[in-house]
């Protein structure tokens, strides 16, 4: 792709194929300030947001700080008949520590802490050069692909709902209180959801196009 | 670009589309030059992978319902709860709302997912009563909702780390939590292996067959 762009290949960059149903579209104006959806399966193709890149970077940094906070402070606290116990996020993740359940501990730790954290770092690695008008990092494409592959396995929001269910489940057994880490974690969940809705995948990929100059205004 | 049947696809143009970044390449290209993903106009191994993961998912779902999800010890008296047993317990304690959440997340959704994936995979080979649009929507729903079944595993994790109050009360995870988590993971992999572009190929060839039939008839 580095050699002279033949008319045919340069023509191909102006096409978008719907990843879900293979229908093909031509990108008409390169300003693409409007959202584009596939007309037959309604998959989102282009979702530009003004200044999205900077917003995403700020949200990523916030998430990073909050996650570290959420790891250190107590997450939930329980009291019954004068006895009390508090658990951190790590305790919850490592609850299955005996025998074959060990695997589950690792999976839970990955799904609620490690994968969300990895996605934040990967996003920063990919987006920071793009937003600040630098050439993309050499492994940016790999990093963004990994981040997208990890997306369904990042389950922080599901864990948050799990907390609410647990709360009611033991309500008649003991009293539960939320620790500071719980509120930090809730903030992380909301930020991750906003961030995902802000990220236009097509624009990021277009900005990583090998022979392309960064021209995506909406990424800045 | 009028109806869903008249759409031009990348394959119709002799091109192959990258499912990761939506970039289009000549048919003979094997790896996407932009994002590095492997390219295949249609993934022919898709259906066999879908079935393999689905069988794994279903077979781990059975022990998940037979064995206890967690054991609760209150003042030396220990009770073990399966998924459905735990929900019935909650109904007895008047927490009908939570019981419904548990039942929907751990019974209704997993079973509906097995049925939906099997139906979608079967509908590629034979004709289907549902339109391509409806089947595509069904596929998106399965992909979106699949992860939420993990909620029950997380609840077990939270309860067993938190409720450790010596003799007063303690909760420990049961083996079913592992097989339930594996069942959810395998079912997610099954849904991810499905190449949704095949839903639309099918309806297109059906339309073409009908068109040819009409031409022959007239």
Q: State how far the alpha carbon of B207 is from the alpha carbons of A74, A127, B119, in Å.
A: 60, 44, 21
Pairs of residues, one from chain A and one from chain B, whose beta carbons lie less than 8 Å apart: 214
Residues B41 and A133: their CA atoms lie apart, in Å, by: 34
Q: What pLDDT sits at residue A115?
A: 92
- Give domain limits for chain B: 1-41, 46-198
Averaged pLDDT score across all residues of chain A: 78
Q: 3-state DSSP: chain A helix, strand, coil percent, rounded to 5?
A: 55, 10, 35
A92·B161 Cβ contact <8 A: yes
Residues B139 and B141: their CA atoms lie apart, in Å, by: 5
Residues A173 and A193: their CA atoms lie apart, in Å, by: 33
pLDDT band at B197, cuts 50/70/90? confident
Residue range A50-219 forms a domain whose CATH class is mainly alpha
Tokens of B214: 């009409």
Q: What does the pLDDT average to over A150-175? A: 83
Tokens of A218: 């909406």
Tokens of A57: 């970077």
Q: Work out the minimum CA distance from B214 to partner chain A, whole angstroms.
A: 25
The three-class DSSP label of residue A37 is strand
Q: Work out the minimum CA distance from B194 to partner chain A, whole angstroms.
A: 10
Find the closest chain A residue to B138 by CA distance.
A41
Tokens of A140: 């940016």
Residues A75 and B35: their CA atoms lie apart, in Å, by: 39
- Is the per-residue pLDDT at A6 higher than 50? no
pLDDT, one tens digit per residue, over A38-75 is 877 878 787 776 667 788 888 888 888 888 888 888 88
Instruction: Identify any residues that bridge with A36 across adjacent strands, giving them in sequence order.
Output: A46
- Is the per-residue pLDDT at B138 higher than 70? yes
Q: What pLDDT sits at residue A28?
A: 67
pLDDT band at A215, cuts 50/70/90? very low
Residues B159 and B86: their CA atoms lie apart, in Å, by: 13
Residues B10 and B97: their CA atoms lie apart, in Å, by: 48
Q: At what angle do helices A52-72 and A115-131 cross, to 10 degrees?
A: 150
B22·A100 Cβ contact <8 A: no
Q: State how far the alpha carbon of A217 is from the alpha carbons of A31, A49, A135, B91, B103, in Å.
A: 7, 10, 15, 55, 48
A83·B166 Cβ contact <8 A: yes
Tokens of A115: 């994968």
Q: At what angle do helices B83-92 and B96-103 cross, to 10 degrees?
A: 160
Q: What does the pLDDT average to over A1-12? A: 46
Residues A209 and A190: their CA atoms lie apart, in Å, by: 31
Instruction: Identify any residues that bridge with B72 across adjacent strands, giving them in sequence order.
Output: B79, B171
Chain A CB contacts of B143 under 8 Å are 152
Q: State how far the alpha carbon of A129 is from the alpha carbons of A144, B41, B118, B206, in Å.
A: 13, 32, 44, 48
- Give domain limits for chain A: 1-46, 50-219
Find the closest chain A residue to B25 by CA distance.
A12
More confident residue, B171 or A219: B171
B158·A162 Cβ contact <8 A: yes
Got the DSSP string for A189-201? HHHHHHHHHH--H
Contacts of B190 (CB under 8 A, 6+ apart): B49, B50, B51, B52, B53, B54, B56, B57, B117
A152·B173 Cβ contact <8 A: no
Contacts of B112 (CB under 8 A, 6+ apart): none
- Reported as half-sphere exposure (CB side, CA atoms, 13 A), residue A201 has a value of 24
Q: Where do we find the tokens 């800045």?
A: A220
Q: Where do we find the tokens 């991750």?
A: A192
- Reported as half-sphere exposure (CB side, CA atoms, 13 A), residue A67 has a value of 21
Got the DSSP string for B131-195? -HHHHHHHHHHHHHHGGGGGHHHHHHHHHHHH-EETTTEEEEE-HHHHHHHHHHHHHHHHHHH--
- Considering only CB atoms, A202 lies closest to which of B22, B132, B147, namely B22
B154·A155 Cβ contact <8 A: yes
155-214 in chain B: CB under 8 A from chain A: 155-166, 168-169, 171, 173, 175, 177-178, 181, 185, 188, 192, 196-197, 199-201
Give A73's DSSP letter.
S
A202·B143 Cβ contact <8 A: no
Chain A CB contacts of B23 under 8 Å are 12-13, 17, 205
- Is the per-residue pLDDT at A214 higher than 50? no
Q: Which of A22-31, B35-44, B89-98, B148-157 has the lowest mean pLDDT?
A: A22-31
Q: What pLDDT sits at residue A10?
A: 52
B22·A205 Cβ contact <8 A: yes
Chain B CB contacts of A169 under 8 Å are 90, 95, 98, 155, 159
Q: Work out the minimum CA distance from A203 to partner chain B, whole angstroms.
A: 9
Residues B118 and B4: their CA atoms lie apart, in Å, by: 24
Averaged pLDDT score across all residues of chain B: 82
């Amino acid at each position: 792709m580095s050699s002279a762009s033949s008319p045919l290949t340069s023509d191909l960059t102006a096409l978008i194929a719907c990843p879900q149903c293979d229908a093909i579209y031509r990108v008409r104006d390169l300003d693409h300030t409007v959202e584009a959806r596939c007309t037959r399966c309604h998959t989102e193709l282009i979702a530009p947001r003004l200044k999205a890149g900077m917003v995403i970077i700020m949200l990523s940094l916030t998430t990073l700080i909050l996650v570290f906070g959420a790891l250190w402070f107590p997450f939930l606290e329980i009291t019954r008949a004068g006895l009390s116990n508090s658990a951190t996020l790590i305790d919850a993740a490592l609850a299955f520590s005996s025998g074959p359940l060990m695997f589950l501990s690792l999976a839970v730790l990955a799904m609620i802490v490690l994968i969300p954290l990895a996605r934040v770092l990967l996003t920063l690695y990919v987006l920071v050069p793009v937003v600040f008008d630098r050439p993309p990092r050499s492994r940016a494409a790999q990093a963004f692909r990994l981040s997208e592959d990890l997306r369904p396995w990042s389950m922080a929001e599901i864990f948050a709902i799990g907390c609410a269910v647990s709360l009611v489940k033991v309500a008649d057994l003991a009293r539960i209180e939320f620790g500071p880490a719980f509120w930090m974690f809730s903030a992380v969940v909301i930020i991750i959801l906003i961030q995902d809705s802000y990220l236009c995948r097509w624009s990021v990929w277009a900005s990583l196009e090998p022979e392309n100059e960064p021209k995506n205004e909406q990424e800045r | 670009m009028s109806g869903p049947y008249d759409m031009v696809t990348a394959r119709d143009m002799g091109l192959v589309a990258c499912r990761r970044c939506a970039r289009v390449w000549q048919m003979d290209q094997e790896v996407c030059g932009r994002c590095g993903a492997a390219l295949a106009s249609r993934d022919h191994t898709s259906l066999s992978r879908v079935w393999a993961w689905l069988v794994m998912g279903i077979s781990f779902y059975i022990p998940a319902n037979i064995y206890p999800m967690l054991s609760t010890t209150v003042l030396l008296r220990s009770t073990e709860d399966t998924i459905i047993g735990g929900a019935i317990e909650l109904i007895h304690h008047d927490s009908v709302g939570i019981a419904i959440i548990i039942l929907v997340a751990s019974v209704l959704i997993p079973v509906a997912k097995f049925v939906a994936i099997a139906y979608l995979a079967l509908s590629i080979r034979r004709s289907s009563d549902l339109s391509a649009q409806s089947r595509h929507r069904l596929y998106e729903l399965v992909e979106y909702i699949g992860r939420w079944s993990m909620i029950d595993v997380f609840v077990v994790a939270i309860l067993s780390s938190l409720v450790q109050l010596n003799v007063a009360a303690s909760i420990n995870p049961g083996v079913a939590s592992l097989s339930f988590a594996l069942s959810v993971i395998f079912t997610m992999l099954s849904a991810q292996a499905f190449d949704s572009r095949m839903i639309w190929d099918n309806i297109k060839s059906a339309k073409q067959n009908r068109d040819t039939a009409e031409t022959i008839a007239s």
